[in-house]
Structure 1
Amino acid sequence: MKISTWIKSGVIDKNIKDSLDSTVESLHSICPLRANKKSIHESLRDVLDRDQSFREKTMANIQVHKWLSPTAKFNKKRYDRSSAIANRENPLPVEEFSFLTNKQRAIVKTFYTLIELELYTFLYDHAGIIPAKIVKTFSKKQRLKIKTDFENADTLTMINFITENLIIFMNKSVFYNENPLEVFMDYKKSV
C-alpha cells in the first residue's frame, strides 16, 4: 500500500487536530507503513493538491489543504509608520483645494500617506488568509511592476487588490460595513 492510498482511505477525517503539525503527528502515530512525518506531510500536500474531488470531499480535507497552502507575506518594515512616510517611492497625486498651494502639500501628503499606511496595515494583518499565488498573479499583471510583498505598492494598487479579491476578505468577515466594495469604489472615483 502507498501512503497516498492510505491517506485517501479516510484517515484525515478520523485524525484531524487543531493544527497541521498535530494532525501529521497523529497520522504518523497510526501509520501502518512506518512512514516518517516528512513523508506524510509531503504526501498530504501532493494528494490534496492533485486531487480536487478528494480535497473538497470533507471539511477535514479542506482544512488540511488550507494549512498546507502558502499565504501572502508582506514586507514588515513598511508596517512601521515612520519608515512608511520616510521611504515613499511613488509621487503623491496632485490635488487642488481652496487653500494655498504651499499648505496643500502638507495636508494632502499626510492624508494619502495615512490612507496608504492603513490599507497596507490591513493587508499585513490579514496576510494569513491571502493565498500567495493570488498576490503573485496580481503583482505580475500590474503595469508598474510591484513586489509580491507590496513594498512598493501605492494606495490605488492596494485598493485594486482588495476589490479584485474581496471574496477572500468577505469569507472571513474582516469588514464591518455592509458593502465594503462600494466604499472602495467611491474612494477610487474621488481620487
Structure 2
Amino acid sequence: MIVQIIPHHQKALKRQLQRQVDAKSAHLTEAIARACGFRTHAALQADMEGASAGLYVRFDNDAFRARLHELTGKSAPSHLDLPELDRSARYVKRLFENPRLEIIRMQPMSIRFRLAGIPTVVAVDLHHTGTGVFRFRRSHAIHTPTQIAPYWPGRDFDDDPAYGMNRAITSITDNYEQAVADGHVPNLTWLVAA
C-alpha cells in the first residue's frame, strides 16, 4: 500500500492504526516510520524537513508488525486498513506497482526514479506558473532503438498537477516499455540528458 507522509496524513494514518492495534502512541509512531522505510521516527522527521509537500512511500506491513512486536511484544493483525490516497495522488499507486520502475523519491511536485536495467536517475519536476498551469521539466528524454529520435513532449504543461506528472513520466516509460516488449535490452544510452 502507498501512503503519503505529510503531517495531516500521518495523523490520519496513526488514528486509523490506533483503532486496529493495541499500542502506545510512541510505539505506533516508531512502527509507522519503519513501515515507511525509515529506521526511526526521528529519521523520518529529518527527511521530511526538505519535503514540505510530503512524500509518497510504500507502507511495508511486515516491517510495521515486526517493529511493533519488537517494541511491545504484541502482534499486529496481518492485514491493516490504511487511509486511501486522495484524488490528487490517483496515478501514484500505479507508478509504485510498475516492476520496471524503481521509485527513489516521490513528492507531489517531483519524482526521482530509475528504469529497470538503466542505472541513470531520471528527475521530473513540476512548477506552478502562477497562471493555473503546471509545467514539467524532465532531466532526460528517451531514445530507444524503436524511435527515430529522442522523445520530448510537445506539450510540457497541464492545469492538473497529478495528470501533468503522470504525462511527464509516461512520456518516458511508454517508449521504454514498447522497446522492451519488442525484445530490446535496456541500455544506458536510451536516456538522453536535457
Please report the TM-score for the alignment, with normalisation by the length of structure 2. 0.26
> Which structure has the bigger radius of gyration?
1
| Higher normalized helix content (fraction of residues) | 1
| Higher normalized strand content (fraction of residues) | 2
Please report the TM-score for the alignment, with normalisation by the length of structure 1. 0.26
